[in-house]
Amino acid sequence: MKIPVPDEILPADRLGHVHLVGIGGAGLSGIARLMHQSGVAVSGSDANDSAVVQALRAEGITVHVGHDAAHLDGVDTVIATTAAREDNPEIVAAQARGLRLWPRSAGLQSVLLGRRVVAIAGTHGKTTTTAMTTVALQEAGLDPTFAIGAEVGSLGTNARVGTGPVAVVEADESDGAFLVYTPELAVITNVDPDHLDHWGTEEAYAAAFAEFAERAGTTLAEDAGLADVTVAFADGATIRGTDLVIEGGRTRFRVEARGTDLGEVELAVPGRHYAQDALLALAVGLELGAEPAALVRGLARHQGAKRRMEPLGEAGGVRVYDSYAHHPSEIRGDLEAARSLVTGEQRLIVAFQPHLVSRTRIFGTAMGHELGAADEVLLLDVYVAREDPDPAVTGALVADAVPLPAGRVRFVPERADVVPALVEVARPGDLVLTLGAGDVTALAPQLLAALADGGRG
């Protein structure tokens, strides 16, 4: 559901009791935490119980499972996820009672007012870049407020109010939310057509990023056409990465800033795309005046964000990783990183769940092409999320485009069949990567249990 941004966004401390519809999601859970920590009365609801819901309750926030108009008793402001339907009883009640009804972008902006905002956007890599930036700035003593679109192990959460004046936030473009913020520093990781269900055309999508850059005091980006400060592994960049090496599950590179060698950065995560994310994070710290050596130490401390090439365990000699990649470019980056973790006769096995009917319709063939970098591929059916299913758009569309020999690509439409199929194909030494933005992540623990049980789980 599209909820208009109000003409005036009040500070969070003037919103009264705030209720968040869809509080278990990555975006709204972060807003709830920031408001609660700022002394705002907060409650929320979500369709399902989850670890996030339980964590929010443990932090003192009232969270209801299921949606009911009665949850709005005593509420002044309702902030809703874009995934909420128009007939959601809490949305209907908020409108009937004349309550303040805001989208998540307005809710986050209300918390950011009065802070020096670093807003990190981009088609890919914004979660990791936001996490890396936050950890680096913490190490440099800035203690920023932050809101990130995933739980981050080294931070222990996805959002927290810091003691410093800086706020680092992930700025999502999927529904235009990032055009609500007015950052001092804007970071654009990359621009690669996506979310065309909202934007309509590739040109409109690109224009939105240009508008986002114009809203900022200074923009840092790899693309010189968008950047005041270019940050790239390329000659002529203002802040330049060189000597990139990816091996043994780690990444290292050197940094030169405005002609000065700042030394070597080492990351505990593998991948060229993570090196670019780290370079951007370092650039933010430099623009804020942080000490370079402290930023480098912080980046070394970053252990990855949840669902970003996350190692979940090993059983039966098989390593299991999980990642959020759902766009062809993201699939390419994660498979390249995963390839650095297998050697010799070890194989890379991917279980991929396409996300959204519209995205699969547009990019399904390209998704399949990128999955050809694996040794074995299992395709789940499409995770429809906020859209209605289309019988003509299924995981088979992606499977048919994977350039691997027959027998090494399987479309497994029944969810109950996926783990047994993975157990059947995996052997000691292999790496299994569950991939996608939907609920495919839930399969990884089941797979580990089955492997530990000799395939009987």
pLDDT at residue 457 in the model: 47
Q: Which range, of 158-167, 232-241, 351-360, averages the lowest pLDDT?
A: 351-360
Whether residue 3 lies inside any domain: the answer is: no
Q: What pLDDT, on a 0 to 100 scale, did the predictor assign at position 415?
A: 87
Element (H, E) at 203: helix 202-214
The confidence score (pLDDT) of residue 362 equals 86
> For the chain, how far is it from start to end, CA to CA, in angstroms?
40
**At residue 301, what is the residue type?**
R
Q: Cβ of 425: how many Cβ atoms within 10 Å?
A: 18
The lowest-confidence range among 67-76, 168-177, 221-230 is 168-177
Domain boundary among 78, 106, 134: 106
Q: Give the DSSP letter of residue 7.
A: S
Percent of the chain with pLDDT over 90: 66
Asked if residue 441 belongs to a domain, the reply is yes
Mean pLDDT over 271-298 rounds to: 94
Task: Name the more confident of 338 and 137.
Answer: 137
Structure confidence at residue 306 as a pLDDT band (50, 70, 90): low
Same domain, 242 and 326: no
> Is the Cβ–Cβ distance between 190 and 341 less than 8 Å?
no
Asked if residue 101 and residue 40 are part of one domain, the reply reads: yes
pLDDT score recorded for residue 303: 65
Residues 59-116 have pLDDT tens digits of: 999 999 999 999 999 999 999 998 888 999 999 999 999 999 999 999 999 999 999 9
CA distance readout (Å), 309 to 29, 305, 363, 371: 22, 8, 22, 15
119, 255: one domain: yes
Residue 422 token pair: 């993975």
Buried b (16+ CB within 10 A) or exposed e, 3-28: beeeeebbebeebebbbbbbbbbbbb
What is the rounded average pLDDT for all residues in the chain? 91
For residues 248-274, average pLDDT: 90
How far, in Å, are 31, 33, 37, 38, 73 from residue 160 at the CA level? 9, 7, 8, 10, 27
Number of compact structural domains in the chain:
3
Q: What is the pTM of this model?
A: 0.77
Statement: residue 327 has pLDDT above 50 = yes
Q: How confident is the model at residue 353 (pLDDT cuts 50, 70, 90)?
A: very high
Closest CA to 189 of 280, 325, 275: 280
User: Where among 272, 301, 330 does a domain terminate?
Assistant: 301
Least confident range of 26-40, 60-74, 147-161: 147-161
Last residue of a domain, one of 75, 106, 137: 106
- Overall average pLDDT of the 380-404 stretch: 87
By residue range, what is the domain housing residue 38? 12-106
Structure tokens at 432: 């299994």
Do 59 and 198 lie in a common domain?
A: no
Tell me: do 429 and 335 sit in the same domain: yes
Active site residues: 126-127, 170
Could you give the CA distance from residue 77 to residue 3 in angstroms, rounded to a whole number?
13
Q: What is the structure's pLDDT at 246? A: 87
